[in-house]
Structure formats: C-alpha cells, structure tokens
C-alpha cells in the first residue's frame, strides 16, 4: 500500500527546510543586456517602452518598488514574451509576496489555499508507469473516456495530492507552491510512474516550467496532453471524418508556461478538419477568459476583456469556441453560447471527429 503525503501528517522538519531552500532562478544580467524588454513591452495591461521595461525589471529584481506591482493582472504572458527564459512573472510574484502586496482580498486567497490542501481524498486508477493526471479537475473523470484514451486508461490519478499548485501565482503566493509542490513530486515518486500525461496544461507548466525554475526535482517525464492527443489521432487517422467547421481557440493563462506546445493546437485542428479562425486575440496576443480578473481585479476589467474576446470570435465567423482549460470553459462557455458560438472542450472536438460524440 502506498502512503501519500498530505498536509496534516508528515509536515516534518525536512519539508520546512525545503520551503527555505527553493529559490527562483532569475538572472538580472540577462535583463541588463536585453535588446527588447519584451516582458513588459508586449504586456497587454500596461504601456511601456523598452528602456522602461528593462529599468522596472531591474528595480523589481533589486527589491525596489515598481508600478508593475500595481498594474500586473497576473495573465502569465510575460513568461512567454521573455525569450531569454528569465521568468519575469515569477519574479513579480515573488517580490509581491515579500512586500505583502496581495492581488486579491485575503479571504479569497485563503479560500484558494484551502481548496488545494491535500486531504487524503485522492483517487487512483490502475496506475502503470504511464499515467494520465487529471490534477484537481473533476471534469476529466467524465471526459477522459473512449478510443482516444483506451491505450492508457484506467491508469489515472486525481486529487489534491497531485495538484500542480500553479494557481497560487495568481495570488502572489509562491511560498505555498514551494511547500506543496515537493510533496506532490514525492507522491508521484512513490507511485513509481515514469511518464505523466498532464490533462491540464497548468500541470504540464508546473512540472516542465515552474518546478525547474525553482530547482524542484521532477521524478518523471511530463507529457502535454496536446502532444498525446495529436499522436493518438494520427494512430486513429482512418476513423477521422473532417468536421468542416470554423472555430476559435480560447488560450488559457497556463498555456503561457508551455508555449512550445502551442503549435499542437493548429496541428490537431488540421488533422480533424477544423478551420482555426485567424483573429486578433490569438497566439501571443490571446486574452484571458476573465475568470481570475473577476475574482481579483474587478468586474470592469473582466467584462471589458471578455467582450473584446467574444466580439473578436464572432467578428471572424467562429461557429465553435474550443477550450483547453475547464475553468475557462466554465467562465466563458455560457457567454459565447449567448452569441451563437458553440462552446466545446478540445477533447470533445477530437471525439466528434472520430464519431464518438
Ligand atoms: S525579463 Fe526577459 S524580456 Fe524582460 S527585461 Fe529581462 S530578459 Fe528582457
Ligand atoms: S503577468 Fe501579464 S499582466 Fe503581469 S506583467 Fe506579465 S504580461 Fe503583464
């Protein structure tokens, strides 16, 4: 029998040492020679030139004050914009926490910390060396069925004990990540898994991007589910009937932590005969679903971003809006449907193409 670690039973001295040990790898020398300042120049929520961008990042890295702490709405995008791998958003988050600059009311932050707390209520399938991770997204317990997954299922894991904990960067709280993520890694290690197919790209971002940025060991190979779906669809290519529809993609914040996997969106759509509409808010210029904005930064920002995003989908003739993140789908699904655009998760779109929906 495997004993997994959860918060109230094995929080020993080793773990507390670990909290102090993990430090963000950020090199201010990379900023000093940066030719673009893209992290903040491309930011959709502030208007700065290259010199200001570099100056502000250097100020932040020195622990000084910056208007960025006030204006940053935690969209994660600068983690993609910085081509030098220098983790500008993780740095902003670290320094916000150090200074006690919360992004949302204390009660909301606390509520999220409680939601993600391991409580021993995880679920394990018949776990093999290759396993599907549903993280802490219950939707996948229903969605991950059928031919697309039959070569791996019922090897799956679900629950807070395997939760990637990335969401806490929205709440300027990296200390909870540094405390819990090593426990999650230890839980994976105890299962003996070798390859983990992450059904939520926030999990993939955590294991392939955030953990290395903090020097947290990952004892398995993380695989993004886009890559898995693409390869599986190719195996099932004889069963694909092109959908011949026009669709817009709602790119989530977490996709900024795995931008090298973004090409799979177009690759998968090509395989299943979906025309990906060319619109303003796509790729690097994608807009957040607004869920976190509503919670942390107010209704006006969320409403403005959602309106521009959905207008853009409708204006470019999208018949469907497909989602990667179930939370984005929960936030925007009804709103796009009211505009006559059908909301669907990318997994369901793939199932439709092989006649399963
Ligand atoms: S964080 Fe990256 S993009 Fe921003 S100034 Fe530093 S090196 Fe340049
Ligand atoms: S996380 Fe988003 S809002 Fe914050 S500085 Fe980076 S790009 Fe701008």
Rounded distance between C-alpha atoms, residue 246 and residue 314, angstroms: 11
- The confidence score (pLDDT) of residue 5 equals 63
Element (H, E) at 246: strand 245-250
Place of tokens 């629950």: 159
Cβ of 292 closer than 6 Å to ligand 1, yes or no, is no
Share of the chain above pLDDT 90, in %: 88
Cβ of 31 closer than 6 Å to ligand 1, yes or no, is yes
Ligand 2 mean position, distance from CA 160 (Å)? 27
| 252 contacts: CB under 8 Å, gap ≥ 6 | 201, 202, 288, 289, 323, 324, 325, 327, 328
Which ligand approaches the C-alpha of residue 305 most closely? 2
Cβ of 91 closer than 6 Å to ligand 1, yes or no, is no
Residue 294 has pLDDT above 60, yes or no: yes
Residue 17 has pLDDT above 70, yes or no: no
Rounded distance between C-alpha atoms, residue 80 and residue 260, angstroms: 9
pLDDT tens by residue, 307-352? 999 999 999 999 999 999 999 999 999 999 999 999 999 999 999 9
**How many Cβ atoms from other residues are within 10 Å of residue 314's Cβ?**
16
Residue 10 has pLDDT above 50, yes or no: no
Please compute the mean of the pLDDT values over residues 163-168 and round it to a whole number: 94
**How many Cβ atoms from other residues are within 10 Å of residue 189's Cβ?**
13
3-state secondary structure (DSSP) of residue 122: coil
pLDDT tens by residue, 57-91? 999 999 999 999 999 999 999 999 999 999 999 99
- The confidence score (pLDDT) of residue 121 equals 87
Residue 136 has pLDDT above 80, yes or no: yes
Average pLDDT score over the chain: 93
* Architecture in CATH for domain 237-353: 3-Layer(aba) Sandwich (3.40)
- The confidence score (pLDDT) of residue 14 equals 37
- The confidence score (pLDDT) of residue 6 equals 56
Q: Are 327 and 289 in contact (CB under 8 A)?
A: yes
pLDDT tens by residue, 33-65? 999 999 999 999 999 999 999 999 999 999 999
Cβ of 37 closer than 6 Å to ligand 1, yes or no, is yes
Cβ of 75 closer than 6 Å to ligand 2, yes or no, is yes
Tokens of 144: 């991950």
Cβ of 5 closer than 6 Å to ligand 2, yes or no, is no
Q: Are 39 and 78 in contact (CB under 8 A)?
A: yes
Least confident of 139-143, 175-179, 232-236: 139-143
Cβ of 264 closer than 6 Å to ligand 2, yes or no, is no
Give residue limits of the domains in the chain: 28-99, 114-228, 237-353
**Substitution site in 79, 86, 213 for ligand 1 pocket (most atoms within 8 Å of beta carbon):** 86
Cβ of 80 closer than 6 Å to ligand 1, yes or no, is no
Burial 125-153 (b: 16+ CB within 10 A, else e): bebeebbbbbbbbebbeebbeebbbeebe
Residue 169 has pLDDT above 70, yes or no: yes
- Per-residue pLDDT band for 3 (boundaries 50, 70, 90) equals low
Which ligand approaches the C-alpha of residue 48 most closely? 2
pLDDT tens by residue, 178-229? 999 999 999 999 999 999 999 998 999 999 999 999 999 999 999 999 999 9
- Per-residue pLDDT band for 357 (boundaries 50, 70, 90) equals confident
Residue of the nearest CA to atom 7 in ligand 1?
31
Which ligand approaches the C-alpha of residue 56 most closely? 1
């Amino acid at each position: 029998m495997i004993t997994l670690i959860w918060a109230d039973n094995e929080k020993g001295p080793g773990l507390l040492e670990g909290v102090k040990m993990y430090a963000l790898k950020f090199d201010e020398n990379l900023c000093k020679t940066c030719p673009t300042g893209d992290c903040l120049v491309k930011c959709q929520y502030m208007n700065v030139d290259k010199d200001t961008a570099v100056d502000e990042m250097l100020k932040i890295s020195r622990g000084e004050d910056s208007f960025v702490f006030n204006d940053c709405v935690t969209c994660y995008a600068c983690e993609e914009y910085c081509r030098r791998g220098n983790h500008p958003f993780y740095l902003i988050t670290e320094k916000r926490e150090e200074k006690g600059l919360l992004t949302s009311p204390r009660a909301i932050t606390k509520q999220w910390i409680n939601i993600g707390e391991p409580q021993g209520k995880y679920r394990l399938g018949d776990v093999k060396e290759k396993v599907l991770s549903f993280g802490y997204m219950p939707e996948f317990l229903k969605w991950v069925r059928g031919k697309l997954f039959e070569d791996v299922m019922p090897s799956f894991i679900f629950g807070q004990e395997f939760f990637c904990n990335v969401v806490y960067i929205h709440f300027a709280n990296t200390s909870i990540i540094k405390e819990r993520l090593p426990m999650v890694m230890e839980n994976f290690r105890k299962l003996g898994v070798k390859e983990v197919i992450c059904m939520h790209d926030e999990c993939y971002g955590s294991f392939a991007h955030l953990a290395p940025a903090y020097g947290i060991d990952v004892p398995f190979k993380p695989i993004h589910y886009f890559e898995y779906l693409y390869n599986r669809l190719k195996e099932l290519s004889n069963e694909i009937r092109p959908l011949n529809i026009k669709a817009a993609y709602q790119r989530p914040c977490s996709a900024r932590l795995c931008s090298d996997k973004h090409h799979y969106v177009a690759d998968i759509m090509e395989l299943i005969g979906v025309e990906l509409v060319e619109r303003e808010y796509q790729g690097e210029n994608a807009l957040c679903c607004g869920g976190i904005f509503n919670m942390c930064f107010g209704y006006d920002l969320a409403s403005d971003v959602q309106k521009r995003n959905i207008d853009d989908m409708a204006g470019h003739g999208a018949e469907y809006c497909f989602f990667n993140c179930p939370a984005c789908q929960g936030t925007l699904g009804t709103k796009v449907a009211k505009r006559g655009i059908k909301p669907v998760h990318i997994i369901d779109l793939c199932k439709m193409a092989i006649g399963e929906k």
